[in-house]
Structure 1
Amino acid sequence: MENLFDFHFHLLFKHLITVTKNGGKFKLSENVKTTGLAQFLNDIFGGPFDSQSSPLQVSQSSLRLGVIALLSVEHAFANRVLHVFGADLSGVLPLDKEVFNRTRNGETTYYQEFKKQIAFHLTTAAELNKPPYQIEYLNRTTWATLSPDEVTAKLTAGDKRYFSFSIEGGHNLSDVPIRKTIPSRFPELKLKELQDRSDVDFISINLCHLSHIPEQPLGGFAQGLNKTSQLAFASEDFMPKTGLGLTELGKKVIKQALTHPTKPLLIDVKHMSVYTRLHYYRYREQLAIIDPEVERLPIMTSHTGFTFYTLDDYLQNKRFQSTTGSEGGQPISKVAPENRRIGRTNDLINKGLFGNPWTINLFDEEIVEIMLSNGMMGISLDQRILGASNPAVDSRRDRFFEEEYMARPEWEKMFRDGKLPGATESLFGGIAPSKQERHSMLLCLHLVHAVRVGYSALNWIENTSPWDHLCVGSDFDGLINPINGFDDVLQLSKLRGQLLKYLPQADKFLPFNPDQKALRYKNDGSVDAAFLNDVIDKFLFKNGLRFTVRFLHNWQPVPVEVPF
């Protein structure tokens, strides 16, 4: 089996938040599995509750390198679980009620719960380091004496699997009781505590996650849960309503993350609102003036999709409709972006393919920004992020996509007035997939789009290309709806075949930047097979390997093409 890299997945999260029928914890050798009515509901919601990347599944897969996301359960997820048509069905799920009750009732802090996650991973590390798992957690301090070539050789030799950790959400730094109106004043000091620890190391942190954290606002977040998802988890905190860009508290966390002398963390821009992301790019530039070491730290997003719009076109030509009003006496704003067809299939009912134009996904200018920083974009395998909306009639869409909530100050500045952070001007025929493989085509269209944008906007030196900045970021076991045919980590071995089949088709049919191709072609018009296989190698493993080597060398420059 070929080696694979995953920029964002969860290894033990479901083991931590679920219990067996008898009320005990699932063993590491077991997959979390729903039964009976819970299994029926799990199937309806697209399979989010069963294991997708458990230790057992990983041990049987091709996954060799990756990043494990750690996070504590947010109040919004614990608030109201699986209330369908007024009936509380949460009891049928194998959820650990103690975990959810502690969070719902404010009997703990996010920081306490996060440290429990760390402890669980570390206390099980010895068991996971043995067969059949052979999992080792990466820590820069134990690899510092090895050269890049030696690191690469060790990461690719034998049967070991090497995983880094990330912090998914700045809420994990809050050390005050959840939802008790007590403000968290020094999250940057909690981050420093984590960075100073010798027993654990982190590659990145998301400033925001999926909900409003009133006790610790760090910056605006983007709505990520659609209407279907909110049937499973319901809370007003999933809807952005207030705030504009980075807060002063958020800037302190960013500065601490990027300027730690021995263990800097990257900022993962996933889950930030679009205004907050733009604010971050500019704040990072300011920090780099004060501390030039910041300049070498790349921008990254671990599990994303694309809007298939430039931000300039989206705002200036109003590729959306918006509404304002109030809910519970609070002003609210909603934006419904235009649906944009990006491809097609040969299915008579679901012929059209559309992206997800919600602003949680990246605009073209941001793709360029990340590539310029020598950063990385993990492409999510969540069908909702890639654009699938309705399994039955997904290609029969109205002009506008589902509305997303937008914080009122952000809506006023960007979507009403067209202003950006610190500025008033704008930023910078063939084989069609079957119904079963339509999501594979969506994935390929995302890759082709990013590469075309990169080629069109930037000059590339020899032996570099936009293909160097893309990888898998599945979000498995993150309560997602995986794309068709890839229900869990075991199925990732099929990716190469799907990419070989559909990348050329995506490059042929994607209607944006049509004069700039993502692949290379021979004189007779056929695809250069060697180039195609090379870029697939990069996407599936080599880019992740190189990024991991850079991490273990504390982001010092390493050769563009590491030995493989």
Structure 2
Amino acid sequence: MPFFDFHCHPGLKPQFSDPAKKPSPWDFINAKLALSRDINLSINKLFNETLNSQSNLTQLLQNQVKLIGVILHAPEQKIGQGLSEKKIVNKGSVNLIDKTQLAVLASGVHSFELITEELRWLQEAVPEVAGAKFKIVSKSTDFDEADNNTVFGAIIVEGLHCFFNDPNALDAKEKFLANFSSFTDAHTVVAINVCHMQQNPFCNHAHGIQFINPAYFYPTRTGITQWGREVIQLMIDKKILADIKHMSLKTRWELYSWFKDENDDTKFSQPIICTHAGTTGLSIKDRAKFLLKQPVDKGLVYEVAYVKPKSKHAGDCYHNCSSINLYDEDIANIFLSGGIIGLSFDQRILGFADENVLLNVTVPHDVEYISHMEADFFLGPNPTVLPVWPDDTDVWASEDFEDLDPSLYVKMHRKFLLNNIVHILWVASQHASIDLQKAVKQICMGTDFDGLINAIDCCKTADGLEQLKQDMKNELPPLFNANGLAAININQFLDDFFYNNGKNFILGRIKLMRG
């Protein structure tokens, strides 16, 4: 059975290595510790899991992942800076990470150089598997479904910052526009994330990184800037889609308003996509309902901690209701626009509590930061006096996993993934203007493998895809039946979710763009 992945990073990790010795995107890259016999160093479990989350091109080929949204991404300045401050990295103890290269990343002036080099390396790296190839799909006829020796990639750029040289230079805007134009003229770019983890001049982002100093990644602005509107218009003119992942809620709302027909809010001028999503399980009106404590004023931002609300669809499942995830209205807008949702395989995004948190947890929770400039929109006029969730009913309480056996994580993580799928389709089924049988064609897999994630234990790499599909075949029917989704054909849905939906959407967009 072939597979499709909407959001895959086979070329990211080599960017952290010594350029003269960087590993191939075809190879498994193990972030081992370089220890002498007499030295013992500890490494945070989540940090280690993150460094080793991976699907390389060999794994993709061997597991019939025929087509991917191949993500080009320049690690942001603050990521380079934050990693450099990790003691274990600073000592040179992680073999994957080169201190000199981190300094290059931390300078923040090489983003466009990094993505062009990443694309070149993906295309020129020599596989050890005889006859294996990686090929960029520039026009729809470049994709050959019968070719079992090739991994095909459609370009998605994660973050408009990737088109900068020095963002603080006097001619930064001119260089940015020249880079954007030259790259998108030369290559078929299906989609771009307007923002990523770090503040940028185009729009405000949602907080979304956990293992580096959070202050480096505070979202401090509001909505879409004038320059952001100009660049998004350039994207529209070139039929490049806006990927809403990483946008703040207010930013997303402004984008929806822009793309909607002013006389009919069920009609959109452009499809909206989210390539690697999780769900809050909530309507937007409930965005501040599940507070662990009252928001804390940190200066430019409010720190907001949420308890984890219980799923209405699956027992013992919970949601991450941070605003980086999709609210029910986000889901509806994507479906109505003719867009598509890719499901992330990041266990935190899907609602599971990070494993390093579980070790000494009091109450499972998620933390994010809301810009002062968006606080009134998100939290109302008095953020620091909002009521907190009163007790441990309908949320994940500490006693719920006091005796939880880590050997159960594989099954639990799979259930959390299914819960997100069911919730997305349930939202579609409840909307008067959304056809459920159409919506089942608008959801796919977007793992974020080889990104900065802690992948679900049931599928840490592409090696787990076939087993995951088989397990889902057994576990989805009762969930569909219990949530008003019994009309969905399970076998067809799984074939579509894992392959057909994403493939058809990507190739359809490329045909529209370049033929």
Q: TM-score, normalising length from structure 1?
A: 0.77
Deviation, structure 1 residue 253:
1.1
Match runs of 1:346-495 below 5 Å: 352-391=316-355, 401-417=365-381, 434-459=408-433, 464-495=437-468
Instruction: Tell me: CA distance 1:464–1:390, structure 2 relative to 1, closer, same or farther (3 Å).
Output: closer
Residue type matched to 1:490 in 2?
D
Q: Corresponding residue for 2:203?
A: 219
| Equivalent residues, number | 484
Q: Corresponding residue for 1:298?
A: 271
Deviation, structure 1 residue 541:
0.6
Is this contact kept in 2: 1:343–1:352, CA < 8 A? Answer: no
Q: Corresponding residue for 1:542?
A: 500
Q: Which moved more, 1:54-63 or 1:471-480?
A: 54-63
Q: Corresponding residue for 2:9?
A: 10
Deviation, structure 1 residue 136:
1.6
In the alignment, structure 1 residue 251 sits paired with structure 2 residue 254: no
Q: Corresponding residue for 1:165?
A: 155
The C-alpha deviation readout for 1:186-223, integer Å capped at 9, x for no partner, is 444432222211xx22110000001124xxx1101011
Deviation, structure 1 residue 356:
0.8
Between the aligned partners of 1:284 and 1:296, the Cα distance in structure 2 is 5
Deviation, structure 1 residue 333:
1.1
Deviation, structure 1 residue 338:
4.0
Residue type matched to 2:165 in 1?
D
Between the aligned partners of 1:196 and 1:555, the Cα distance in structure 2 is 11
Deviation, structure 1 residue 288:
12
Instruction: Tell me: CA distance 1:392–1:193, structure 2 relative to 1, closer, same or farther (3 Å).
Output: closer
Deviation, structure 1 residue 318:
7.4
Percent identity (aligned): 22
The C-alpha deviation readout for 1:380-434, integer Å capped at 9, x for no partner, is 001111111143885998778333111111112331149xxxxxxxxxxxxxx94
The C-alpha deviation readout for 1:350-379, integer Å capped at 9, x for no partner, is x83211110000000110100011111000
Q: Corresponding residue for 2:394?
A: none
Is this contact kept in 1: 2:259–2:269, CA < 8 A? Answer: no
Q: Corresponding residue for 1:424?
A: none
Match runs of 1:123-272 below 5 Å: 123-124=124-125, 127=126, 131-140=130-139, 143=140, 154-156=144-146, 158-176=148-166, 180=168, 184-186=172-174, 187-197=176-186, 200-213=187-200, 217-226=201-210, 229-230=211-212, 234=213, 236-240=215-219, 242-260=220-238, 264-272=239-247
Residue type matched to 1:267 in 2?
A
Match of 1:26 among 23, 26, 47: 23
The C-alpha deviation readout for 1:54-98, integer Å capped at 9, x for no partner, is 122222222111111001121111113265679944543421333
Between the aligned partners of 2:22 and 2:300, the Cα distance in structure 1 is 43
Deviation, structure 1 residue 484:
0.9
The C-alpha deviation readout for 1:259-278, integer Å capped at 9, x for no partner, is 12xxx210000000111111
In the alignment, structure 1 residue 325 sits paired with structure 2 residue 300: no
Q: Secondary structure at the match of 1:468?
A: coil
Deviation, structure 1 residue 236:
2.4
Deviation, structure 1 residue 33:
1.4
Deviation, structure 1 residue 255:
0.3
Q: Corresponding residue for 1:53?
A: 55
Between the aligned partners of 2:86 and 2:458, the Cα distance in structure 1 is 28
Q: Corresponding residue for 2:389?
A: none
Instruction: Tell me: CA distance 1:485–1:464, structure 2 relative to 1, closer, same or farther (3 Å).
Output: closer
Is this contact kept in 1: 2:53–2:460, CA < 8 A? Answer: no
Between the aligned partners of 1:551 and 1:438, the Cα distance in structure 2 is 35
Instruction: Tell me: CA distance 1:494–1:65, structure 2 relative to 1, closer, same or farther (3 Å).
Output: same
Instruction: Tell me: CA distance 1:84–1:46, structure 2 relative to 1, closer, same or farther (3 Å).
Output: closer
Is this contact kept in 2: 1:42–1:48, CA < 8 A? Answer: no
In the alignment, structure 1 residue 114 sits paired with structure 2 residue 115: yes
Instruction: Tell me: CA distance 1:484–1:112, structure 2 relative to 1, closer, same or farther (3 Å).
Output: same
Is this contact kept in 2: 1:7–1:544, CA < 8 A? Answer: yes
Q: Corresponding residue for 1:76?
A: 78
Q: Corresponding residue for 1:63?
A: 65
Between the aligned partners of 1:249 and 1:392, the Cα distance in structure 2 is 40
Is this contact kept in 2: 1:550–1:556, CA < 8 A? Answer: no
Is this contact kept in 1: 2:207–2:218, CA < 8 A? Answer: yes
Instruction: Tell me: CA distance 1:288–1:554, structure 2 relative to 1, closer, same or farther (3 Å).
Output: farther
Between the aligned partners of 1:400 and 1:181, the Cα distance in structure 2 is 44
Is this contact kept in 2: 1:220–1:273, CA < 8 A? Answer: yes
Between the aligned partners of 1:298 and 1:395, the Cα distance in structure 2 is 42
Is this contact kept in 2: 1:451–1:467, CA < 8 A? Answer: yes
Is this contact kept in 2: 1:11–1:54, CA < 8 A? Answer: yes
**RMSD between aligned alpha carbons?**
3.5
Deviation, structure 1 residue 112:
2.6
Residue type matched to 2:55 in 1?
S
Between the aligned partners of 2:350 and 2:233, the Cα distance in structure 1 is 32
Is this contact kept in 2: 1:354–1:395, CA < 8 A? Answer: no
Is this contact kept in 1: 2:243–2:274, CA < 8 A? Answer: yes
Deviation, structure 1 residue 331:
3.3
Q: TM-score, normalising length from structure 2?
A: 0.84
Instruction: Tell me: CA distance 1:444–1:343, structure 2 relative to 1, closer, same or farther (3 Å).
Output: same
Q: Which moved more, 1:130-139 or 1:55-64?
A: 130-139
| Structure 1 unmatched ranges of 5 or more | 346-350, 419-432, 521-527, 558-564
Q: Secondary structure at the match of 2:52?
A: coil
Between the aligned partners of 1:353 and 1:89, the Cα distance in structure 2 is 40
Deviation, structure 1 residue 139:
0.1
Is this contact kept in 1: 2:13–2:450, CA < 8 A? Answer: yes
| Structure 2 unmatched ranges of 5 or more | 36-40, 383-406
Residue type matched to 2:180 in 1?
L
Q: Corresponding residue for 1:281?
A: 256
Deviation, structure 1 residue 337:
3.0
